[in-house]
Amino acid sequence: MSAPSPVFAIVAGEASGDILGANLIRALKQLFPDAIFEGIGGPQMQAESFRSLYEMDRLSVMGLVEPLKRLPELLRIRRNIVRRYSNNRPAVFIGIDSPDFNSGIEQRLHRAGVKTVHYVSPSVWAWRQGRIKKIKKSVDLMLTLLPFEADFYRQHQVPVCFVGHPLAQQFGDKPDKNSACTELGLDPQRPVLCIMPGSRSSEVELLANLFLDAAEVVRQTWNADIQLVIPAANQARYQQVEEILGHRPNLNILLLQQQSHLAMEAADVVLLASGTTALEAMLLKKPMVVSYRFGAWTYKLLSRLIKTPYASIPNLLANKMLVPELIQDDASVDNLSAAVIDAFDADRRELLQVEFARLQEQLAVDSGAVAARAISELLAQ
């Protein structure tokens, strides 16, 4: 009598997790050709013969009000997932990102004797480090996208595997500025500054005018020929930025809806809000100035909780100040404009490109294959 097929229970709550999940399933199939994959996932996972018990979109909630409205439904889904896999134990439960939803499942299933894996570390290394105690009790294996995250877990005796970042393989070795400029209608012979004030309404509200003021100073004091481009993250941010630009008729800016990678590829320098965009700019080998502002009370609270010496991923990866970070009070028009002008320096750009290429090589691992091998080793223990 043949052994039953192993069941891999996976829960992904967002589009980025769906991509990671599909890649992982493909790799796991190589090691476990008879395996069954089920849980919660999106179209990419389902294309790999994954059975989704609920629509992934039901988990994709943002903001403060929407999660509260959907809380009863989310709690019901989580209870059902826990009940299903407590009664019928899978070979392993894999929570992909979505820590607010998955951590409760992992904790209960781990207690019930199910092996648990969490894929994509929450930012526990950066702030609220006390969460590591709960993770240690809930997770048999943490899969991290960044190497310094893995170092943090090892320090706290949590089993971990660095699997690389999927974005690192999506970008070429050298960006094609000329082609990107031509596609956007920009002159590749003139300097280009890409301005990215964030993807959230609150970020744009706090940063857009500040970044635009800095860009005006750069144009007036450094080079009147500079071209400015803003790729809005979505339709709502496009309308928000468009309204802001309506009060600046003399500041000639190309406003795009999305197309952020193309805009950054066309740029010589990127002025951006701290976040994943800094990683994308690094992979495109673009000098950048990283900035952020919080509300006064929020910053007062967070500044006590944040434990890292740097805010941006390039600096965290390099463990040194590769790119300038101007946060809160340091994010003044004078400081930002001076940092942007400095970033256009040709020698500095050349040195950064070498550093960025080295960091990209470090991240460009076959994430799915490495993660699948680590999970296989966990199951063999």
pLDDT at 3 over 80: no
Contact criterion met (CB below 8 Å) for 94 and 379: no
More confident residue, 55 or 123: 55
State residue 304's pLDDT score: 60
State residue 299's pLDDT score: 57
Q: Name the one residue in this structure whose structure tokens are 């950048």.
A: 288
State mean pLDDT over 145-172.
91
pLDDT at 233 over 90: no
Q: List domains and CATH numbers for the chain.
A: 7-164+366-380 (3.40.50.2000), 177-363 (3.40.50.2000)
State residue 61's pLDDT score: 55
State mean pLDDT over 192-196.
98
Name, in order, each residue with C-beta under 8 angstroms of 214's C-beta and a sequence gap of 6 or more. Answer: 271, 333, 336, 337, 340
Give DSSP secondary structure letters for 299-367. Answer: HHHHHHH---S-SSHHHHHHTS--S-EEEGGG--HHHHHHHHHHHT-HHHHHHHHHHHHHHHHHH---H
Q: How does residue 8 score in pLDDT terms, banded at 50, 70 and 90? A: very high
State residue 128's pLDDT score: 61
Q: How does residue 311 score in pLDDT terms, banded at 50, 70 and 90? A: confident
**Per-chain mean pLDDT for the chain:** 90
Q: pLDDT (tens digit, 9 = 90+) per residue, 104-127?
A: 999 999 999 999 999 999 877 655
Q: How does residue 64 score in pLDDT terms, banded at 50, 70 and 90? A: very low
Q: How does residue 63 score in pLDDT terms, banded at 50, 70 and 90? A: very low
CA nearest 324: which of 373, 289, 277?
Answer: 289
Q: Name the one residue in this structure whose structure tokens are 């894996």.
A: 117
State mean pLDDT over 276-292.
94
Contact criterion met (CB below 8 Å) for 310 and 291: no
More confident residue, 66 or 347: 347
pLDDT at 15 over 90: no
pLDDT at 130 over 70: no
